[in-house]
Amino acid sequence: MSDENRQKEGRATRAAVLGEDHVARAEAATTAFDADFQHFITEGAWGSVWSRPGLERRERSLITIALLAALGHDEEVAMHVRACVNTGATPEEIKEALLHVAVYAGVPAANRAFKIAKGVLNEGAAG
């Protein structure tokens, strides 16, 4: 696949997972300083990895949430829990992924991620 096609597919996948509004806001906020970074994540993360066959988006969401939780990337955890509306990962599956975080990355990381996920999921129930 050409770089241009990977960029287009990455943008489409990013919008399908995170929502068109999120991607449009990211694009609108892009400056000369971070344009190369935005290009890199769209092509690399979204065009090369998230767009691959082999795992469904729901599965990729759960893996991503677990990794982000383990690494303590709280804002990204919240963003990807919100994205589960688009990928089909359920609250039950998110809970199971976070239980794995507790075992393999530590209870404090899972405790923080459970708090974040619970808040995000409650926002959705209230909204």
Q: Do residue 67 and residue 119 come from a single domain?
A: yes
Q: Are residues 72 and 116 in the same domain?
A: yes
> Which of 67, 118, 76, 77 has the alpha carbon at shortest distance from 95?
118
At 77, which helix (H) or strand (E)?
A: helix 74-87
Task: In whole angstroms, give the CA distance from residue 30 to residue 111.
Answer: 33
Summarize the confidence of residues 76-86 as an average pLDDT: 96
Q: 109 and 70 share a domain? A: yes
What pLDDT sits at residue 126? 62
- Are residues 110 and 71 part of one domain? yes
Statement to judge: residues 69 and 109 lie in one domain: yes
Q: How confident is the model at residue 101 (pLDDT cuts 50, 70, 90)?
A: very high
Identify whether residues 80 and 115 lie together within a single domain. yes
Tokens, residue 116: 């974040």
Q: Which amino acid is at 109?
A: A
Percent of the chain with pLDDT over 90: 93
Instruction: Tell whether 78 and 106 lie within a shared domain.
Output: yes
Domain end (from 32, 49, 66): 49
Domain housing 8: 3-49
One domain, residues 32 and 74: no
**pLDDT value, residue 127:** 54
* Same structural domain, 37 and 90: no
Residue-level length of the chain: 127
Residues 87 and 44 reside in one and the same domain: no
What mean pLDDT comes out for the span 36-58?
96
Q: Which CATH number belongs to the domain containing residue 64 in this structure? A: 1.20.1290.10
pLDDT for residue 65 is more than 80: yes
Residues 99 and 80 in one domain: yes
Q: pTM of the full predicted structure?
A: 0.91
Decide if 81 contacts 20 (C-beta within 8 A).
no
Domain count, the chain: 2
Q: What confidence category does residue 6 fall into, taking pLDDT thresholds of 50, 70 and 90?
A: very high
- How sure is the predictor about 2, in pLDDT bands with cuts at 50, 70 and 90? confident
Q: Region 47-55: what's the mean pLDDT?
A: 96
- Average pLDDT on 92-101 reads 98
One domain, residues 106 and 90 = yes
